[in-house]
Amino acid sequence: MEKITLKPEKGELTIWNVILWSVMLPILIGFIICAALVDALVFGIIIAVWLILSILFLIWVPTYFRTLEYSIEEEHLTGKWGVFWRKKVTIPYLKITNVDTTQGPYQRHFGIGSIHAQTAGYSGPEASSAELKMVGLKDFEKMRDVILEHVKSNVAGYTTKPATEADSAPSSLDKIADDVRSIRQFLETKK
């Protein structure tokens, strides 16, 4: 099977912006109320700081969104993201223990959802979350099924490997036992 490359849908960026501005606007209102109680210089500084943060978020959020990329490959899942510090996560199908999907109300509105791939060995502070979250995907349930098929075929291929000549040949221990028997017979004949 060929590599499937996935990028989040634009609806996910819209959701991020709605969440961001639902936090930033109340902060602005709080700043204005606090600044009204102090002099004009403090008011100007507070508004300037808020404007700088808003502009940074307006630039950073879409830039970060464009870096998100996921791929379903023959042997593993891969996720890449990051603006300044790039991160790449690769999860072999043999290590995947659980694949979940989620779809919040805003995602449902845009017809998108998220896939969460978890492994048994994932630990640390993030252990309660998935090792790889693939957010904002269309046909996310179909993609989950594709991932699960890869997991099943990799696990089946690993546990039911065909017998080889090496498997039917005598083991090293059998050869050592034969050598010890011949040495013993040789020593007994010398007595």
CA distance 74 to 7: 18
Which fold, 70-159?
PH-domain like (2.30.29)
Q: Is 136 left (phi over 0), alpha (psi -120 to 50) or beta?
A: left
pLDDT of residue 32: 77
Beta-bridge partners for 117: 99, 132
Taking the model in full, what pTM does it have?
0.69
Q: Could you list the mean pLDDT of each consecutive 10-residue stretch along the chain, which spans 191 residues?
A: 89 92 86 75 82 90 95 93 93 91 94 92 59 93 93 71 52 80 83 68
| Both structure tokens of 65 | 């969104």
